[in-house]
Structure 1
Amino acid sequence: MSRKSKLVILGGGESGVGTALLGQAKGYEVFVSDKGIIKEKYKNVLINNNIEWEDQQHTEAKILNANVVMKSPGIPDKVPMVKALLKKGIPVISEIEFASKYTNATIVAITGSNGKTTTSMLTHHVLKQELDVGLAGNIGDSFAKQVLDHDFDNYVLEISSFQLDGCFDFNPKIAIITNIVPDHLDRYNYEFENYIASKFRIVQNQTKDDYLIYDADDEVILEYLKNNSIQSTLLPFSLTKTIENGAYLDQDNIKITIDNNQIIMPTKNIALEGKHNIKNAMAASTVGHLLKIRKQTIRESLENFQGVEHRLENVLKINKVQYINDSKATNVNATYFALESMEAPTVWIVGGVDKGNNYEELFPFINEKVKAIICLGTDNEKLIASFGKMVDIIVETQFMSEAVKIAYKIAEAGDNVLLSPACASFDLFENYEDRGRQFKEAVRNL
């Protein structure tokens, strides 16, 4: 490659700095630009590797001089700088697109509105027992940096719709779509169809030699498959239907059939609880079966998997009240699964940045399981309008420590206190991890 090829990276976080290092190694002239402040640890990496960077500004002349731009998934397409790049015909791609060009690994790519982190971690847990496999995407060290430092034979990638929007040639051997429900609609002109199409970019380059594993109980996915021609070999999974090629639940067993080769996994000892986690287990087991992992290994992996931080995580039991951290539930559907799995009266902590939420599907659970609601956000009007008449106690706060203290006063022996916000965290917290950690700290300080 000629030295003149200029790679500009917008965003100096994990994916940006990983891409900068890989780009430099592949002979690009690299420039990193961040409108915000680049964290100290990332600045040091850029300085130590003599990579040019700037923060708290975008120098237009340098950026619009690029041959290719890698954009952090957090930057919307509608910002002026991205619009200017596209107008000039400069390709704007994601880290996933860039890094995938430099590896011949077998890639398992997982997307979906909910369940993708758990499914990615569970799939990685199954595969790592017998294969050389990395875990990247929305999770852990950047994909680009792993391709540079190690280049595993296989990767499990958790991929958001924002990352898929910047994918054009990317083609995973195995794609998984866990489910599709309205989410991030603010990024898609409030058009659900745009968001659905974005998720299905994961299979845009697949052929019949590649696989799409998907939830056959999800009407949105079924509708899209019915109306769009997809080349992939389809491997559905279902809790309610008998599936000939794919996975389904038969009483207490998961049955997985691929090319007439069937394996059976009992569900009774699966480490993760809840119906949605049986689906996650089906998806992960199907990948294991496809990649020739031994049945015994798959079974043991499902039984000893530790789960994901901030996703229905039991924190502590205090005075016979169980405190549960589900901060990762940043949309209504994720909270639906959380409330569905509650088997005791629940004090529910909810709220944050509403992304155009419709709370109606939660109403049956509120009537049946929720005894009090604590609204934790800067604007709780919609929550109070939606749930105010459904519970006897509904209170507002803007502090996690206060929310937990109020819950402590309300909850009685045998109850649950559940943080499952159904909203993004950016009004009061850095991100959902910060929100979850603050919840756990407040519980430990009771």
Structure 2
Amino acid sequence: MKTLEAFPYSNILVLGLAKSGTAAAKVLLKNNKYVRINDGKAIQSNDQIEELKEMGAEVIIGSHPFSVLDDIQIVVKNPGIPYDNPIVAEAEKRNIPVITEIEIAGLLTKGPIIGITGSNGKTTTTTLITEMLKCSQKPVKVAGNIGKVATDIAQTTDEDETMVIELSSFQLQGIKNFKPNIAVLLNIYEAHLDYHKTFENYKAAKFNIFKSQTKNDYLVYNADDPTIIEAIHNADSIKIPFSRKKQLREGVWIDEQYVYFKNERVMSRKDIVLVGEHNLENILAAIAAAKLNGATNSGIYQVLTTFQGVKHRLQFVDTINNRTFYNDSKATNILATQKALGAFKNSIILLAGGLDRGNEFHDLLPFLKKVKGMVVFGQTADKLAGIAKEAQIPIVVKTENVQMAVKEAYEISAPADTILLSPACASWDQYKTFEERGDMFIQAVHTLR
């Protein structure tokens, strides 16, 4: 069993269970720490809670009394719990540090860590890096916001294995000393303001990814993003830029014919099968991180000539009567939908809508020129219908959900059209996750057959 040698706290509050809280609690208990668990939504008969009690945890569920902080030295917070939560706010008043489970994962990991963050493209880039290393016969494991709890994966990672971690702003806001050996910053765009309250807070959380890096670490960054360029001046790490707009003799770049790592020609551009200009940025970032970690050009080539995208991120689903269907359910903000719309040259039927977070969607207007029809659903249906009217889109249909939207989209489409689910909204008004929403889309497409 791996031990938490550099974790100097004895009494810990785990606030919020779910996957990350449960994983953190188990590791702490195995390391003979006193662990108190507080979760307002859990139920007494939960098998998971019974297991934690048997391991020695004190469990307080159903409410959040301030007394849960008594004698506590540090709080391990579920990333989804906001910082204005009363217990978190009280902990900060008492000068009790608040961290997320990623901090513990970093202490457990003895091998190299590649951390990836950005407003969009994290999952695609994380997957590309992982596959490039695998195809280069480099031992690697993947974790983090991609769906696998980093603390769980860290316990099984050997010193010669690289851990590739997708990192959200929620996770990064709660780190103190965690640092990846290679940090990847993809892009920064206003997002999750319901959680972070201001864009400045959101940026600060994202930029935590390099705050503890040293001169022996690498920071792979988007040289086309002015917000990132301004932020990285204070980074101590070795800076490796990537760009799809300009030549970079010290970074990764692309011209009309080839992809380059510094002055080395890596592969032909025409052999890349992943669609979308925005995905070129993800590809360049992945090449930089993978090459710095020892990936071979042949391994990179093998991935980029076969990889067509991760599930729910511009995922090709099917072609039916010369209509092509793409599932981009992971597009939970406007920027992601902008990038998806820019990925196609032919006419588009756009399916969009979901949780209303106060956005007015005017930033979509310049990207709707190829959209000949929109099918809208969810809480934001009326707002998006208004934007479609403003963009003079000839056909706009309002429907109840994604499943019905697929049928409506097919009926208003013509041969050679792309039917694209790219909601520009979170899914929680109708679906538990964006994955569930995407699966409903896929199922409805297959039903058309």
- Give TM-score scaled by structure 2 length: 0.91
The residue that corresponds to 1:115 in the other structure is: 121
Which deviates more, 380-389 or 162-171? 380-389
Alignment CA distance shift 1:3-1:78 (3 Å): closer
Q: Equivalents in 1 of 2:342, 2:177: separation in Å?
A: 39
Alignment CA distance shift 1:55-1:342 (3 Å): farther
C-alpha distance after superposition, 1:180-199 (max 9, x if no partner): 1111122222x322222221
Report 1:293-312 matches (<5 A): 293-312=295-314
Which deviates more, 211-220 or 112-121? 211-220
Say if 2:313 and 2:331, in contact at 8 Å, map to a contact too: yes
Instruction: Give the 3-state SS of the residue equivalent to 2:379 in structure 1.
Output: coil
The residue that corresponds to 1:378 in the other structure is: 379
Alignment CA distance shift 1:295-1:23 (3 Å): same
Match of 1:7 among 9, 12, 33: 12
Deviation at 1:333, TM superposition (A): 1.0
Say if 2:111 and 2:157, in contact at 8 Å, map to a contact too: no
Deviation at 1:276, TM superposition (A): 1.6
Q: CA RMSD in A?
A: 2.3
Q: Equivalents in 2 of 1:90, 1:411: separation in Å?
A: 57
Paired letter, 2:83: D
Say if 1:321 and 1:415, in contact at 8 Å, map to a contact too: yes
The residue that corresponds to 1:206 in the other structure is: 213
Deviation at 1:41, TM superposition (A): 7.2
Report 1:190-229 matches (<5 A): 191-225=198-232, 228-229=233-234
Instruction: Give the 3-state SS of the residue equivalent to 2:155 in structure 1.
Output: helix
Which deviates more, 310-319 or 294-303? 294-303
Alignment CA distance shift 1:4-1:154 (3 Å): closer
Say if 1:322 and 1:416, in contact at 8 Å, map to a contact too: yes
Alignment CA distance shift 1:210-1:306 (3 Å): same
C-alpha distance after superposition, 1:89-136 (max 9, x if no partner): 111101111221222221111000000110001101111232222111
Say if 1:23 and 1:30, in contact at 8 Å, map to a contact too: yes
Deviation at 1:327, TM superposition (A): 0.3
Paired letter, 1:273: V
Alignment CA distance shift 1:413-1:203 (3 Å): same
Match of 1:32 among 37, 49, 53: 37
Say if 1:13 and 1:42, in contact at 8 Å, map to a contact too: no
The residue that corresponds to 1:18 in the other structure is: 23
Paired letter, 1:321: R
Paired letter, 2:23: G
Q: Equivalents in 2 of 1:237, 1:77: separation in Å?
A: 33
The residue that corresponds to 1:274 in the other structure is: 276
Match of 1:179 among 163, 178, 187: 187
Q: Equivalents in 2 of 1:42, 1:433: separation in Å?
A: 24
Paired letter, 1:317: T
Deviation at 1:52, TM superposition (A): 4.3
Q: Equivalents in 1 of 2:228, 2:8: separation in Å?
A: 44
Paired letter, 2:359: N
The residue that corresponds to 2:132 in the other structure is: 126
Say if 1:263 and 1:295, in contact at 8 Å, map to a contact too: no
Alignment CA distance shift 1:66-1:151 (3 Å): farther
**Alignment of 1:141 onto 2:143:** no
Q: Equivalents in 2 of 1:441, 1:46: separation in Å?
A: 38
Paired letter, 1:125: E
**Alignment of 1:170 onto 2:178:** yes
The residue that corresponds to 2:332 in the other structure is: 330
**Alignment of 1:391 onto 2:393:** yes
Match of 1:319 among 308, 318, 321: 321
Q: Equivalents in 1 of 2:47, 2:166: separation in Å?
A: 24
Say if 2:318 and 2:324, in contact at 8 Å, map to a contact too: yes
Alignment CA distance shift 1:119-1:105 (3 Å): same
Say if 2:258 and 2:265, in contact at 8 Å, map to a contact too: no
Instruction: Give the 3-state SS of the residue equivalent to 1:268 in structure 2.
Output: helix
Alignment CA distance shift 1:265-1:412 (3 Å): same
C-alpha distance after superposition, 1:285-327 (max 9, x if no partner): 1122212222222221222335211011111222222221100
Match of 2:163 among 150, 155, 173: 155
**Alignment of 1:106 onto 2:107:** no
Deviation at 1:329, TM superposition (A): 0.4
Deviation at 1:44, TM superposition (A): 6.8
The residue that corresponds to 1:71 in the other structure is: 77
Deviation at 1:64, TM superposition (A): 4.0
The residue that corresponds to 1:255 in the other structure is: 260
The residue that corresponds to 1:188 in the other structure is: 196
Paired letter, 2:152: K
Q: Equivalents in 1 of 2:154, 2:50: separation in Å?
A: 21
Say if 1:11 and 1:72, in contact at 8 Å, map to a contact too: yes
The residue that corresponds to 1:243 in the other structure is: 248
Alignment CA distance shift 1:51-1:244 (3 Å): same
Paired letter, 1:330: T
Q: Equivalents in 2 of 1:307, 1:113: separation in Å?
A: 17
Alignment CA distance shift 1:420-1:44 (3 Å): farther
Q: Equivalents in 2 of 1:114, 1:311: separation in Å?
A: 10
The residue that corresponds to 1:435 in the other structure is: 437
Say if 1:323 and 1:443, in contact at 8 Å, map to a contact too: yes
Which deviates more, 331-340 or 16-25? 16-25
Q: Equivalents in 1 of 2:331, 2:193: separation in Å?
A: 16
| Equivalent residues, number | 439
Say if 1:185 and 1:356, in contact at 8 Å, map to a contact too: no
Deviation at 1:161, TM superposition (A): 0.8
Alignment CA distance shift 1:407-1:94 (3 Å): same
Percentage identity across paired residues of the two chains? 39
**Alignment of 1:61 onto 2:67:** yes
Which deviates more, 342-351 or 329-338? 342-351
Unaligned runs of 5+ in 2: none
Instruction: Give the 3-state SS of the residue equivalent to 1:128 in structure 2.
Output: helix
Q: Equivalents in 1 of 2:354, 2:61: separation in Å?
A: 28
Match of 1:86 among 85, 92, 95: 92
